[in-house]
Amino acid sequence: MKRLLSILIVICLYLPNGVLPDQQSSTAALTKEQAFWVSQAERHERAGWVYLYIQGLPRERGFQYGYLMAKEIAESLRVRRVLWAYQTATEWSWLVNKSAAMITPKVDAENLAELEGIVEGLKMAGVMISRDEMIAYNAFWDLFWYWWPIVKETVGASSPNPPKQSCSAFIATGSMTPDGNVVLGHNTWLDYTMADFNLILDVQPAMGHRILMQTLPGWVHSGTDFFITDAGLVGTETTIADFKGFDEKGIPEFVRFRRASQDASSIDEWCAIMKRGNNGGIANSWLLGDVKTGEIARLELGLKFVGFERKKDGFFTGSNVAEDLKILRFETSSNELEIKVSSVARRERWKQLMKEYKGRITIDLAKSLLGDHYDMYLQRDIPDSRTLCGHAENELQAGPGWPTTQFPAGAFDAKVVDATMAKRMSFAARWGSACGTEFDATRFLEQHTQFDWMAGILKSRPAQPWTEFRAGEKKD
């Protein structure tokens, strides 16, 4: 009886409307097995983030995920349906059908079972979605950023490509840090309508490595990307700007990322999985570290070319400029010398800061660097689209990389981890913006009526504190 009562309390706390299943007409009653699965998970909220722990076999942890995050998944799906329809003038159902033929057959059995579990959990919570739609949703970056820009030409669409000047990051080790071990930092840049990556997902699979990562509700990969694993691996990425190329026959990025992070025990294994079947989707500069050895690496994945470097002393940075010359010259249209461009200005700022703070890079300093507002083009402090903590909404002169002036986009979070934290499976994160500045969506839309189509999907983000999350944590 005591065990049954605790299960009922868990269900009551985490249902989308906070009521038991039989009190909600759109929500079915859980079976005993499903109720037990839910009781094995953990969900709570802190400082703008949702922490979710899921565990077990793929279907079990997927069910926990879908059931406990139903409200957030439904909302994130709604936003992407609106974005897709506005940006492409095509139906979301059309995209789902295309994805079902192109993406679904390439999802491995374990990921597929977990995704099916999410769908099952969502349905039990009253959110109706098909497996194919959930897969298209997980593959959204591949489809929206890489597949659509190529396909739109064949269907006669002339809309501008979605911007991909996304993220600022660094990783340092050896003589760069006081203790000689790894420090990693990252902030995510996106159109603010898509700034809903506020889930800290703690995955303990029945087989493979435990993963603690930032992600979007309903995704089985990170997507931002920021992760640590119990193999001692830490990693993040920044997208490669001005990239063109996509192989429909390749393996989706979300599939490769999840397999790499769950299955790999070393940097070499992680990179090998990511390169296998590469489709060019989310062409990234991956910054990786092994806290067991103090080694760091940068893996740059284009479509035709791959760049790889590793070291035990030094640093790598990411700002959306490809460092591998073959990727830069053959697969992008970037001009790495034009400092007026966000990616180039941030690249040069990273060089300056790494030189200035050599030997002093700690967690606290990393937090400060990610909130930096120095514009290398204007040579002064001003939060705009060229600063490490991006604020394109303040940009009065639209530079390459963003579609208009004062576009609501930029950094909406920050995450840091060092070797000590990674070894205990924890990292610190800040929701809102890396510098702590709030964003008021209502005021912004009142002042910039050209973006009124964003009403209902552009959300405010209040200032939030830095908060540490750890694997296996419980609600306070």
When the pLDDT of each residue in the chain is averaged and rounded to a whole number, the result is: 92
The residue with tokens 């029945």 is 206
Domain ranges (residues) in the chain: 2-16+30-151, 168-469
Nearest of 323, 329, 361, 357 to residue 343 by alpha carbon:
323
Tell me what pLDDT residue 154 has. 80
pLDDT value, residue 165: 62
Q: Say how far apart CA 197 and CA 360 lie, in whole Å.
A: 30
Q: What is the pLDDT of residues 241-277, one digit of tens each?
A: 999 999 999 999 999 999 999 999 999 999 999 999 9
Which CATH fold would you assign to the domain 2-16+30-151?
A: Penicillin Amidohydrolase; domain 1 (1.10.439)
Percentage helix, strand, coil for the chain under 3-state DSSP, each rounded to 5: 40, 20, 40
Q: Give me the pLDDT at residue 402, please.
A: 66
User: Which among 223, 257, 225, 255 has a CA at the least distance from the CA of 145?
Assistant: 223
pLDDT digits (tens, 9 = 90+) for 311-363: 999 999 999 999 999 999 999 999 999 999 999 999 999 999 999 999 999 99
* CATH assignment, 168-469: 3.60.60.20
| pLDDT band, residue 377 (cuts 50/70/90) | very high
Residue 5's pLDDT is what?
43
| pLDDT for 138 | 98
Asked whether the beta carbons of 209 and 262 are under 8 A apart, the reply is yes
Residue found by looking up tokens 């990425």 in the block: 237
Q: Indicate the pLDDT class of residue 76, thresholds 50, 70 and 90.
A: very high
Residue 53 DSSP SS3: strand
pTM of the predicted protein model: 0.93
* Nearest in space to 208 (alpha carbons), one of 251, 269, 250: 269
Enter the DSSP assignment of 350. H
Cis omega (within 30 of 0) for bond into 324:
no
Q: Are 173 and 355 in contact (CB under 8 A)?
A: no
Give residue 427's identity as a one-letter amino acid code.
Answer: F
| Nearest partner of 7 among 73, 69, 67, judged by Cα | 67
Q: What is the pLDDT of residue 134?
A: 98
